[in-house]
């Protein structure tokens, strides 16, 4: 009798305490140290603390020299986490109270012997060296729901992308630290990517098809038509917002300015992460009118309002040659519609596609913006927020497609073939599929899948 097939449960995931990520950033951890820590975290038990991985696993997944990785583990054991306290420090009479001193939480990593010596806990010995706990990653009493979650394929690889951590290690220090911050700011449930109020995002501005170009404030924000209004916006560059600069710091008062200006290391780090396929841009239509702001240089742009939310997706922009299935968006449908209405998206035939059109109801405030989406994010529908996130995204795309069809009907244009049902079916299958990894893997006891119910 044939043995029944085991039902797949989806790709695994692992978590890291936010206090540990902040400690890695504060201590300016190297790419080797970050990749090693992620490898150890990937092979922890369901608590996220007890890891069966060591130098051998880190070497396999990063392609780095074992002696260098041993040094990385030694330094990780010296990095301590801190947490802000609410009790202010006493201040001299007549002076303002000092900021509360941070609470020292201890190292972010212990080896087996060190943990047993500090805590007195005797760790069990596994049947083989590969099933024996080698390191302990303290969770600092953070609930699972508040930790930062990673898709396990970031470490294990998938398909042709065999060793993502090797690519991350080669991308450099800034790219490795930036990726940690992007994961910490990733909000799939609300934004479908990195929250633009907490991390970098891509700003778009009303397209200018005139020569010579018109000033920013003279370009039409939107163009009214019967049954709705059209936005034709063009890509204008990456913006860093929120407290990103405060948590990613280094010696020198001018460090943040030097690193975030055009061509600085931060922008190169974003480009490196896009080039190796760890992040990609998702172009969205938002439900609020952009707030007019100015950069330090004096240039004007539209910022994302605090109460804005995504309406629907336009397109996924990737530089890695890999296109996310089911995330094509509605850019083709909007472009085809406005072209029929004599509002060409690319009237001069300029190569490339940096200009997008969006259709929104008459009188509604809206804007176009790009958010960064992580490729190796938690994708199992059992994880909290994953199923709800895709349900919201698909519903928004269905509503956007219905509006496009209504505008076409109002202008007596033929209906477009529906893709919304296909998109609804493709993405959950892709997200829940257990992917086979390529290449040799160390024989390490793989932890049970950690999910948030």
Per-residue confidence (pLDDT) for residue 429, from 0 to 100: 52
Per-residue confidence (pLDDT) for residue 75, from 0 to 100: 97
Domain count along the chain: 2
244 shares a domain with 149:
no
Q: What is the mean pLDDT of residues 148-168?
A: 91
275 shares a domain with 128:
no
119 shares a domain with 39:
yes
Kindly report, residue by residue over 252-263, the tens digit of the pLDDT. 434 444 444 555
136 shares a domain with 50:
yes
296 shares a domain with 224:
yes
2 part of a folded domain: no
443 part of a folded domain: no
CA distance 21 to 40: 14
Q: What is the mean pLDDT of residues 435-439?
A: 41
> Are residues 286 and 309 in contact, defined by beta-carbon separation less than 8 angstroms?
yes
240 part of a folded domain: yes
- The residue segments making up the domain with residue 135 are 13-88+96-159
201 shares a domain with 115:
no
170 part of a folded domain: no
Per-residue confidence (pLDDT) for residue 268, from 0 to 100: 85
Report the share of the chain in percent with pLDDT over 70: 78
Picking from 305, 207, 294, 196, the residue whose alpha carbon sits closest to that of residue 240 is 196
407 shares a domain with 266:
yes
SS (H, E, C) the chain: CCCCCCCCCCCCEEEECHHHHHHHHHCCCCHHHHHHHHHHHHCECCCCCEECCCHHHHHHHHCCCHHHHHHHHHHHCCCEEEECCCCCECCCCCCCCECCCCEEEEECCEEHHHHHHHHCCCCCCCCCHHHCCCEECCCCCCCHHHCEEEECHHHHCECCECCHHHHHHHHCHHHHHHHHHHHHHEECCCCCEECCCCCCEEEEEECCCCCCCCCHHHCCCCEEECCEEEEEEEEEEEECCCCHHHHCCCCCCCHHHHHHCCCCHHHHHHHHHHHCCCEEEEEEEECCCCEEEECCCCCEEEECCCCCCEEEEEEEECCCCCCCCCCCCCHHHHHHHHHHCCCCCCCCCCCCCCEEEEEECCCCCCEEEEEEEECCCCCCCCCCCHHHHHHHHHHHHHHHHHHHHHHHHHCCCCCCCCCHHHHHHHHHHHHHCCCCCCCCCCCCCCCCCCCCC
237 shares a domain with 151:
no
Per-residue confidence band for 140, with pLDDT thresholds at 50, 70 and 90: very high
Kindly report, residue by residue over 351-394, the tens digit of the pLDDT. 556 899 999 999 899 999 999 999 999 876 666 667 888 889 99
149 shares a domain with 211:
no
Kindly report, residue by residue over 217-234, the tens digit of the pLDDT. 889 999 999 999 999 999
241 part of a folded domain: yes
385 part of a folded domain: yes
Across-strand partners of 371? 201, 282
Per-residue confidence (pLDDT) for residue 401, from 0 to 100: 96
> Are residues 44 and 177 in contact, defined by beta-carbon separation less than 8 angstroms?
no
Per-residue confidence band for 204, with pLDDT thresholds at 50, 70 and 90: very high
Kindly report, residue by residue over 35-73, the tens digit of the pLDDT. 999 999 999 999 999 999 999 999 999 999 999 999 999
Residue with tokens 């390191």: 135
393 shares a domain with 266:
yes
200 shares a domain with 338:
yes
Q: Which tokens sit at 321?
A: 């040659």
300 part of a folded domain: yes
154 shares a domain with 218:
no
């Amino acid at each position: 009798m044939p043995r029944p097939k085991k039902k797949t449960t989806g790709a695994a995931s692992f978590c890291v305490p936010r206090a540990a990520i902040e400690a890695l950033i504060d201590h300016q951890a190297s790419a080797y140290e970050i990749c090693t820590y992620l490898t150890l975290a990937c092979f922890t038990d369901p608590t996220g603390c007890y890891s069966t991985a060591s130098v051998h696993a880190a070497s396999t997944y990063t392609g780095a020299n074992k002696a260098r990785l041993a040094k990385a583990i030694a330094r990780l054991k010296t990095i301590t986490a801190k947490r802000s306290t609410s009790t202010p420090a006493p201040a001299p009479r007549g002076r303002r109270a000092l900021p509360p001193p941070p609470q020292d939480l201890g190292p972010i990593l212990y080896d087996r012997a060190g943990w047993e010596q500090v805590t007195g806990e005797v760790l069990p010995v596994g049947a083989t060296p590969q099933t024996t706990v080698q390191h302990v990653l303290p969770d600092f009493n953070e609930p699972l729901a508040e930790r930062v979650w990673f898709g396990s394929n970031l470490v294990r690889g998938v398909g042709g992308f065999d060793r993502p951590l090797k690519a991350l290690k080669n991308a450099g220090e800034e790219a490795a630290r930036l990726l940690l911050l992007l994961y910490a700011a990733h909000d799939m449930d609300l934004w479908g990517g990195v929250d633009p109020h907490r991390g970098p995002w891509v700003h778009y501005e009303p397209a200018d098809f005139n020569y010579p170009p018109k000033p920013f404030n003279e370009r039409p924000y939107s163009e009214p038509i019967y049954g709705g209004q059209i936005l034709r916006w063009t890509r204008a560059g990456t913006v860093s917002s929120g407290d990103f600069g405060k948590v990613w710091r280094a010696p020198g008062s001018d460090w943040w300015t030097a690193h975030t200006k055009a061509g600085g290391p931060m922008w190169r780090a974003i480009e490196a992460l896009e080039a190796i396929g760890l992040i990609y841009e998702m172009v969205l239509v938002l439900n609020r009118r952009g707030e007019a702001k100015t950069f330090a240089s004096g240039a004007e742009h539209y910022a994302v309002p605090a109460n804005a939310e995504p309406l629907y997706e336009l397109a996924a922009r990737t530089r890695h040659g890999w296109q996310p299935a089911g995330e094509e968006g509605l850019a083709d449908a909007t472009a085809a519609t406005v072209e029929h209405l004599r509002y060409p998206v690319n009237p001069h035939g300029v190569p490339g596609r940096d200009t997008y059109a969006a259709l929104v109801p008459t009188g509604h405030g809206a804007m176009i913006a790009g958010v960064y989406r992580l490729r190796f994010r938690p994708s199992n529908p059992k994880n909290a927020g994953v199923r709800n996130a895709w349900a919201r995204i698909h519903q928004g795309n269905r509503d956007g497609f219905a509006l496009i069809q209504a505008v076409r009907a109002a202008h007596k244009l033929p209906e477009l073939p529906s893709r919304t049902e296909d998109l609804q079916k493709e993405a959950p299958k892709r997200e829940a599929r257990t992917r086979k990894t390529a290449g040799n893997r160390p024989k390490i006891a793989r932890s049970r899948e950690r999910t948030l119910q």
